[in-house]
């Protein structure tokens, strides 16, 4: 009987009736045997599914391109300088988000917020450049239905753009709640920035492949 703790909390979280009170283990700190906290395992699993999502699109692109009698080179029809600028932009945002995380670990909230803001700004710049690219294409009557090259171009960059927007929403949320979260649960906030960063790096990584495949080859 010694193995049991035969006591019930008077006001324990388990039966307080309010769901805000229960604590899920390992939301902040790592479980010893996996060495991970929940959010980190969760985001990696999510990224694994994202690999399969974009993988299916890459599979589509390979199949369509190799089957097609004509397939334009990206640099003939797409705006390489703009896309190159966007590549720099996105890589830079990947660095700023990791610097935000590093600064949180140093206890420097102000700097961390600054870097988060820059990351968000990079997101806006990226989407702005995308909008210019799309706008130019539309004005030349180059639509997804024009050719499968444009179809894959629009779908892949479009889906990637949606991911960028999703990341931007999270960054905005993190920025708005930074003070509150940092004051109350510093470690958890740091973890959130790390997890969001992992997602953002993945978005960056996808672009690193999309850029040559669509624009340069």
| Positions in 33-52 near another protein (CB under 8 A) | 33-38, 40-42, 44-46, 48-52
SS3 31: strand
Please give the residues from 88 up to 127 whose contact with another protein meets the rule CB under 8 A: 88, 91-92, 94-95, 98-99, 102, 105-106
Please give the residues from 139 up to 168 whose contact with another protein meets the rule CB under 8 A: 143-148, 151, 154-155, 159
- CA 26/CA 38 separation, integer angstroms: 6
Please, what is the angle between helix 109-139 and helix 186-210, to 10°? 30
Taking CB under 8 A as the binding criterion, the range among 67-75, 117-125, 127-135, 172-180 that sits at the site for another protein is 67-75
- 73 binding another protein? (CB under 8 A): yes
Please give the residues from 3 up to 32 whose contact with another protein meets the rule CB under 8 A: 3-19, 22-32
- CA 64/CA 57 separation, integer angstroms: 10
Nearer to another protein, 13 or 128 (CB): 13
- CA 67/CA 58 separation, integer angstroms: 14
Q: Which tokens belong to 31?
A: 């479980």
Give how many residues touch another protein by CB under 8 A. 108
Contact (CB, 8 A) for 156 and 210: yes
């Amino acid at each position: 009987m010694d193995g049991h703790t035969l006591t019930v909390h008077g006001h324990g979280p388990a039966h307080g009736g309010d769901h805000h009170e229960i604590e899920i283990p390992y939301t902040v700190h790592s479980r010893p045997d996996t060495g991970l906290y929940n959010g980190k395992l969760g985001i990696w699993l999510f990224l694994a599914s994202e690999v399969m999502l974009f993988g299916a699109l890459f599979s589509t692109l390979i199949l369509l391109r190799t089957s097609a009698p004509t397939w334009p080179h990206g640099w003939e029809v797409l705006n390489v300088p703009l896309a190159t600028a966007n590549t720099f932009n996105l890589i830079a945002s990947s660095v700023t988000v990791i610097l935000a995380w590093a600064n949180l670990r140093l206890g420097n909230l102000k700097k961390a917020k600054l870097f988060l803001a820059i990351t968000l700004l990079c997101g806006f710049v990226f989407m702005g450049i995308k909008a210019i690219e799309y706008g130019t294409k539309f004005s030349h009557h180059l639509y997804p239905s024009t050719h499968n090259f444009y179809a894959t171009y629009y779908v892949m960059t479009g889906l990637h753009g949606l991911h960028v927007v999703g990341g931007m929403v999270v960054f905005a949320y993190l920025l708005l709640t930074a003070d509150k979260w940092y004051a109350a649960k510093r470690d958890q906030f740091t973890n959130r920035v790390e997890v969001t960063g992992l997602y953002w790096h993945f978005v960056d990584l996808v672009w690193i492949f999309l850029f040559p495949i669509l624009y340069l080859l």
